[in-house]
Amino acid sequence: MNILAIDSSNLVMGVAVSTETKVLGEIITNVKKNHSIRLMPAIEQIIRDVDLTLDQIDRIAVAIGPGSYTGVRIGVTIAKTLAWTANKEIVGISSLEALAQNGMHFNGLIVPFFDARRGQVYTGLYQSKDGKVECVQEDRLTMMKDWLGQLKECQESVLFLSNDLDKHVAIIHEILPNSVIGEAVYNNPRPSEIAKLAFTREPSKDVHHVVPSYLRLAEAESKWLEKQVNKE
């Protein structure tokens, strides 16, 4: 089975083509450039570079977030459209779960996160077990400070993986002084990991129903809901 993996959910943009046993090719960039301009050409290039055609792709794996709203939408729209129109299976993968895979060989808790501004992060809790990184506490949007307090209770060593470490490293050291900070090479989510995860998942029954996982309402929606509550 050939899987095409797509991730434009955060600053890192990645595309990969894998079989069950081999990563045939992977393109990753970690620069502030426009995903809308670059993602589709990257998909075309990776498929061509590994000497395949779209016909030979069986399944499409896509990072569904959390992350940049616009970034997530670009990846999900392209993945859904390709899957629908070219009759491919599709699997959505959490962007945090994808990043957590980089902690596979860490003996302890794995905490991937993306900065969500004003002290908040998108994050989740993962752990490596029997050669698999499993989710222990589901993905969420939370204040980093509260999250660290919670992690402290676990009394286990914690590995933090993120390209946004610089924004949060001070508070991490303050609350969890013994935690491990991921080296640069481990902080880019890798599309080949997304492909790997997608091999083991059931594809979505209906491609139309694949939606981004924003983990946060649009601002106007939460304000509107707040108003309704206040009215009561």
Partner 1 sequence: MNFEKPNIILGIETSCDETAAAVVENGTIIRSSVVATQIEIHKRFGGVVPEVASRHHVEQFTVVCEQAIKEANVEWEDIDAIAVTQGPGLIGALLVGVNGAKALAFAHQKPLVPVHHIAGHIYANRLVNEMKFPLLALIVSGGHTELIYMRSHASYEVIGETRDDAAGEAFDKVARTLDLPYPGGPGIDRLASIGKPNIDFPRAWLEPDSYDFSFSGLKSAVINMVHNAKQKGETISKENIAASFQESVMDVLVAKTMKAAKEYHVEQIIVAGGVSANQGLRQRMEAACHDAGIPLSIPPLKLCTDNAAMIAAAGSIGYLKGDRADLALNGNPSLEIEKFSV
In the complex, the residues that contact partner 1 under the rule CB under 8 A are: 34, 36-41, 43-44, 54, 69-70, 73-74, 76-78, 80-82, 84-86, 207-208, 211-212, 214, 218-221, 224
CB of 15 to partner 1, least distance (A): 13
By C-beta, is 44 or 134 nearer to partner 1?
44
94 CB-near residues (< 8 Å, 6+ apart): 63, 64, 65, 66, 124, 135, 139, 213
Closest CB to partner 1 among 56 and 70?
70
How far CA 87 is from CA of 41, 78, 81, 212, in Å, comes to 20, 13, 10, 20
Residue 30 or 36 with smaller CB distance to partner 1: 36
CB of 66 to partner 1, least distance (A): 14
Residue 78 Cβ vs partner 1, minimum distance, rounded to whole Å = 5
Please report which residue ranges of the chain form alpha helices under DSSP H: 35-49, 69-85, 95-100, 144-154, 165-175, 191-199, 219-231
SS3 231: helix
Cβ proximity to partner 1, 166 vs 219, nearer residue:
219
> CB of residue 141 vs partner 1: minimum separation in angstroms?
15
Torsion of CA 175, 186, 194, 114, to 10 degrees: 40
| Of the candidates 7, 24, 45, the residue with the CA atom closest to the CA atom of residue 188 | 7
Task: Give the tokens for residue 4.
Answer: 């095409």
Rounded to whole angstroms, the Cα distance separating 139 from 126 reads 10
Nearer to partner 1, 49 or 221 (CB): 221
* 11 closest CA partner among 93, 62, 60, 70: 70
Q: Among residues 55 and 134, whose Cβ is nearest to partner 1?
A: 55
Cβ 80 to partner 1 shortest distance, Å:
5
Least Cβ distance, residue 57 to partner 1 (angstroms): 10
Phi, psi of 133 (to 5 degrees): -95, 115
- Whose Cβ is closer to partner 1: residue 82's or residue 125's? 82
- Pick from 84, 62, 58: which is nearest to 74 by CA? 62
We find the least distance from the C-beta atom of residue 145 to partner 1, in angstroms, to be 26
